[in-house]
Structure 1
Amino acid sequence: MTPALLILTDFFRAANKALDYATNLAGPLGARLVLLHVRRDSILDSERLTGELSDLSTEATAMAMKQVANDLAVPVVAEIGHGRVAFAVADAVSRHHPLLVVLGRPDYSATPDELVRTTALDLLRTAPYPMLIVPHTLTSTVLPRRVLLAVDGEDFTIGPHAGAMRHLSRTLGVELTVLHVTPDADADVSEDDVMASVRRTGLGLDLPTPMRFRHAVAANPAEGILHAAQAGGADLVVVLARPRSFWGQLFHRSVTAEVLLHSPVPVLVLPTLA
């Protein structure tokens, strides 16, 4: 079965940037694109993909989707969903089994983090799936090579998504750096234990160069991750979303959410099973 990338679009700038990025990924992966636009049919709908809602009619939306699909150089399936975005995405995922769900991150610079409600965070709460978030400020859509994987040092598993992630890393020939952030420079950090937790997932298999380890000290783990990504020239950051992040404290206070909202480079969020 041909692999797929599922892209959410609302025809605004951030979604268009994500579509460009996904199109470049699709080529080397031999993947088709599933272009999904979700119409919000309820006047009480408070969800936002880009902070704006398209007011196109059903017919105009269908024409716009067709035009976008015709302009792409890779195979495309265009679909229009209805209702809540998370449910429409879950339905599309169940039918297409994509490698990733891809969406754009719009400009939230004028909105405090605690007031930001994004489609990405809602999807992670209700329908956890590997998700690539592309910031609207991204200036280049070249393929990612230098990948920073931020881990907390605990064992984790990504279950049925491990094969897809290995395929992505192997095909792109990424250089993978594993980052562990602690608030104390004197913290007892075992590089062997941290790297072993990653190796057990299979994420380091078949890479052109061995995984590298980096330890950083930061009172705020998210700031430590973002600083390390910038200092190391990473062009993709990978973060874990553990189940407790969804149901414990408010999700927008989690490290994953903070990195997702502020990273200048794309962020791949991997939901874990533990």
Structure 2
Amino acid sequence: MAPSLLILTDFFQAANRALDYASNLAGAIGARLVLLHVRRDSALDPEMFTGQLSNLSQEAIDLALSRVAGNLAVPVAAEVGHGRVEYAVADAVGRHHPALIVLGRPDYSDLPDELVQTTSLDILRTSPYPMLVVPHTLASTTPPRRLLLAVDGEEFSLGAHAGAARHLLAALGAELTVLHVAASPSATEPDPAIWDSVLQTGLAVDLPTEVHTRTVVSPDPVESILQAARPENFDLVVLIARPRSFWGQLFHHSVTAQVLLQSRIPVLVLPAAE
């Protein structure tokens, strides 16, 4: 059975851009789409009173989903969830077992970081799963060919998600660069153990070119990753999120969260196994 991509849509600009990106990605890797709209009708939803939620009737939602699905060039199934997005997504993931969750990142430029409530962070904290976040400012929705994998120097495993991640990279035929942000000046030379850890995940298997490596020394890993992940150099940045990153509200201040909020290129988050 072909792999699937679970794409969230609220019919706003960011979601539409993410849908275009997901459709092109699905075509490139031979996947199908599961289009999910969540009616955020929970009284506990923090965005219920901000005006940031669509307020469509069920009939209007069905019509919009039908129109969107009819314009896609890849196989697609559409469904409607209810309540808090993170729980609706967890339910859909349990039924469809997608390779990725895909969603758009809206424009948060007018909001202070501490006031930003993001669907991606809530989903990752509630039920960590491979997720692709597409910024609303993305200029091109063509499949990525130049990937930047940012690592922290510690060993990691992708557990049950390793196979899907390997298939994605191999199907894309992308060029992979591994970036290690080191805190110590003594770590300017690449540590073979870091690259061995990446190789053991299988992410470099069947890639068309040799994996490139780069080490930078900086006390600020977020800034270093964002500086490296420029649109003129890379099409996608891949982050490994460790279980400790998801504990409580601290996740909103983690490296993963900050790169998700600020990156100018799509961000693929791969949760590490415990």
TM-score for both structures, normalised by structure 2: 0.95
Q: Is the 8 A contact 1:182 1:217 kept in 2?
A: yes
Q: 2:259: which partner in 1?
A: 259
Which residue does the alignment assign to 1:82? 82
Q: Structure 2: how far apart are the matches of 1:260 and 1:76?
A: 27
SS of equivalent residue, structure 1 residue 216: strand
**Pairwise CA distance, 1:137:** 0.1
Separation in 1, partners of 2:217, 2:234: 18
SS in structure 2 of the partner of residue 41 of structure 1: coil
* Aligned counterpart, 1:28: 28
Structure 1 residues 221 and 208: CA distance shift in structure 2, 3 A: same
- Partners of 1:42 and 1:177 lie apart in 2 by 42
The residue correspondences of 1:1-274 to structure 2 (distance < 5 A) are 1-47=1-47, 52-187=52-187, 190-230=190-230, 233-247=233-247, 250-274=250-274
| Local SS of the residue matching 1:7 | strand
Q: Is the CA contact (8 Å cut-off) linking 2:231 and 2:264 kept in structure 1?
A: no
How much has 1:47 moved relative to structure 2? 4.5
Closer/same/farther in 2, CA of residues 51 and 136 from structure 1, 3 Å limit = farther
Contact 2:187 2:217 in 1 (8 A): no
Compare 132-141 and 245-254 and name the one that shifted more. Answer: 245-254
C-alpha contact (below 8 Å) 1:85/1:119 kept by paired residues:
yes
Q: How many residues align?
A: 273
Distance in 2 of aligned mates of 1:222 and 1:7: 27
- Are the aligned partners of 2:35 and 2:76 in contact in 1 as well (CA < 8 Å)? yes
Q: Deviations over 1:99-133 (max 9, x none)?
A: 10000000011112222120100011111100000
Question: Aligned equivalents of 1:146 and 1:223: distance in 2?
Answer: 20
Q: Matched residue of 1:80: which SS?
A: strand
Percent of pairs identical after alignment? 66
Q: Which runs of 5+ in 2 are unaligned?
A: none
Q: Would you say the 8 A contact 1:47–1:119 is kept in 2?
A: no
The 8 Å contact of residues 238 and 268 in structure 2, kept in 1 or not, is answered as yes
Higher mean alpha-carbon deviation, 51-60 vs 194-203, is at 51-60
Letter in 2 for 1:266: P
Distance 2:218 2:114 in 1: 21
253-262 vs 178-187, greater mean Cα deviation:
178-187
How many angstroms apart in 1 are the aligned matches of 2:224 and 2:207?
25
Equivalent position amino acid for 1:220 in 2: D
Gaps of 5+ in 1: none
The CA deviation at 1:187 is: 3.5
Q: Is the 8 A contact 1:241 1:272 kept in 2?
A: yes
Residues 150 and 180 of structure 1 are in contact (CA less than 8 Å); yes or no, is this contact kept in structure 2? yes
Tell me how large the CA RMSD over aligned residues is: 1.7
Q: State the 1:94 CA deviation.
A: 1.1
Shift of the alpha carbon at 1:217?
A: 2.0
Q: Secondary structure at the match of 2:230?
A: helix
